[in-house]
Amino acid sequence: MSDASDSGDSGSSPPPETLIAGRAKRSTAGNRLSHLLQHLEDEDIKADLLADQEDDQKDYSASEDDDADVALDSSDDSEDEGKEGDEQELAGERELRKQERVESKRKRKAREIVRIQPLKKKVKIVEDAPIQDAVPILPKRVERLTMADFGPTRHSSRTQTIANAKVTAAKLKESRRRAVRTQEVMRLAAEKKAAEAGPKLTQADRMARALRIEKENNRSLNRWEKSEQERLRLQEEKLEAMRNRKLDGPVFRYWSGPVTWVWREGPDGPVYKRYAQPALSQEEKRYLAAKHRRGANTLPPVPARAMCAISGRPAKFRDPKTKLAYADLPASKAIQRVLANGCQWSAMLGGYPKGSGGER
């Protein structure tokens, strides 16, 4: 009775849940199949599938051949027990086939790893989505470190280290003060520039400003013209005063040029007036032009060559005192002796004797 009750209880109780039924589904489950379905039209995918199918067929045929070889080997064991060389050859062939299957399986797994890629998320463009105003991102403000962080903290008991720390803290404090002053100056300059710029001008404001500037330029030009006229007038008065200046006492006056000076007695002394040369008439201009053309076309005559006063040969030099021409050094010495009364004049010969140093 106890056995029957136990069997009834065991038949009515539910079966235990298996491990595979209670396990959660993997996050990547079905990725390979979905990838193949999406890219089924791809030529590369088709080629890979065909290659896998051929490899499977080769593996299946190779396994059948192995089974057939094993059956043949078992049937031939009784006949070829003494043929050890044939058995070694068959073992080598089986080893080669096994290596080929392992290599093909490795290549197939490598192709599967390359082919299975993670799915990329597609970007959906919604055209009718409302465009929201982009919130401007304010730049982060650079926070300066406080002086408490750089305070003269004592890290060592050495006197030099403490002194260096104090100097560094003083420099940082001065730098902070200078930075604050610079920022204040820059702020004031920016405010001044903004105040000088004023509001944005319209086209009418620009035209009014242009007219105002034009009037100012005209007034400035008129002032410059008046000042220039005044400068020229003062310069002319100064030159006229220099021409009509009076000199006390006897003076020598020298002038040159085709002008006429007339002297007359004035109430305060003699007055000299300058008259310019009158303009040339047409006949005078034609005469001067013809004379110039004749002079340009006719070369001047060659001057006669001077002769030596001592030897009578063509002279090359001229004495600076007497202006006498001489040909060489002996002639120059003879001229110097004559000047120094070294030669006596002969009334009978009508010249200087040859023995006295002169030559005729």
- Output the pLDDT for position 66: 55
Answer yes or no: are the C-beta atoms of 334 and 358 closer than 8 Å: yes
Cα atoms found within 13 Å of the Cα of residue 321, Cβ hemisphere only: 6
Tell me the per-residue pLDDT of 11-34, one tens digit each, with 9 for 90 and over: 567 777 777 677 777 767 677 777
Q: Which has more pLDDT, 96 or 263? A: 96
Distance CA 59, CA 100 (A): 9
Residue 155 has pLDDT above 60, yes or no: no
Which amino acid appears at position 182 of this protein?
A: T
Quick check: 258 and 277 in contact, CB under 8 A? yes
Whether the Cβ atoms of residue 260 and residue 275 lie closer than 8 Å to each other: yes
Asked if residue 170 lies in contact with residue 151, where contact means CB atoms within 8 angstroms, the answer is no
Token duo for residue 302: 């060659």
* DSSP output for 290-346: HHHHHHHHSPPPPPPPPB-TTT-SBP-EE-TTT--EESSHHHHHHHHHHHTT-S--B
> Which residue type, as a one-letter code, is found at position 89?
E
Task: Please give the pLDDT value at position 138.
Answer: 64
Cα–Cα distance, 317 to 308 (Å, whole number):
9
Mean pLDDT of 323-342: 85
Residue 273, SS3?
Answer: strand
Q: At 158, is the secondary structure helix, strand, or coil?
A: coil
Distance CA(66)–CA(8), nearest Å, equals 51
3-class secondary-structure state, position 279: coil
What is the average per-residue pLDDT within 282-296?
75
Percent of the chain surpassing pLDDT 90? 18
Distance CA 46, CA 41 (A): 7
30: left (phi over 0), alpha (psi -120 to 50) or beta: left
Mean pLDDT of 214-238: 95
23-29-31 Cα angle (round to 5) = 175
pLDDT-derived band at 360, boundaries 50, 70, 90: very low
Q: Are 343 and 357 in contact (CB under 8 A)?
A: yes
Distance between CA 294 and CA 287 in Å, rounded?
11
Q: Give the pLDDT score at 274.
A: 62
67 within 8 A of 75, measured Cβ to Cβ? no
Residues contacting 240, CB < 8 A, separation 6+: none
C-alpha torsion angle, residues 326, 332, 338, 341 (rounded to 10): 170
Whether residue 81 is predicted with pLDDT greater than 70 in this model: the reply is: no
Over residues 144-162, the mean pLDDT reads 63
Are the beta carbons of 325 and 310 closer than 8 angstroms?
A: no
What is the structure's pLDDT at 342? Answer: 66
Amino acid 320: pLDDT: 86
> Residue 359 — pLDDT band, cuts 50, 70, 90?
very low
The yes-or-no verdict on residue 216 having pLDDT over 90 is: yes
Predicted local distance difference test score (pLDDT) of residue 176: 94
| Dist. CA 286–CA 334, nearest whole Å | 55
* Helical packing angle, 43-76 and 84-115, nearest 10°: 160
Mean pLDDT of all residues in 94-110: 83
Of 132-136, 160-164, 206-210, 252-256, give the lowest mean pLDDT range.
Answer: 132-136
State yes or no: pLDDT of 308 exceeds 50.
yes
The least confident of 67-81, 138-152, 233-247 is 67-81
Map residue 50 onto helix, strand or coil. Answer: helix
Average pLDDT over residues 254-275: 65
* Least confident window among 63-67, 188-192, 254-258: 63-67
Residue 205, pLDDT > 60, answer yes
Residue 255 has pLDDT above 80, yes or no: no
Q: Containing H/E element for 77?
A: none
Q: Which amino acid is at 6?
A: D
Residues forming a β-bridge with 265: 270
Query: How does residue 1 score in pLDDT terms, banded at 50, 70 and 90?
Result: very low
Residue showing tokens 């080598």: 92
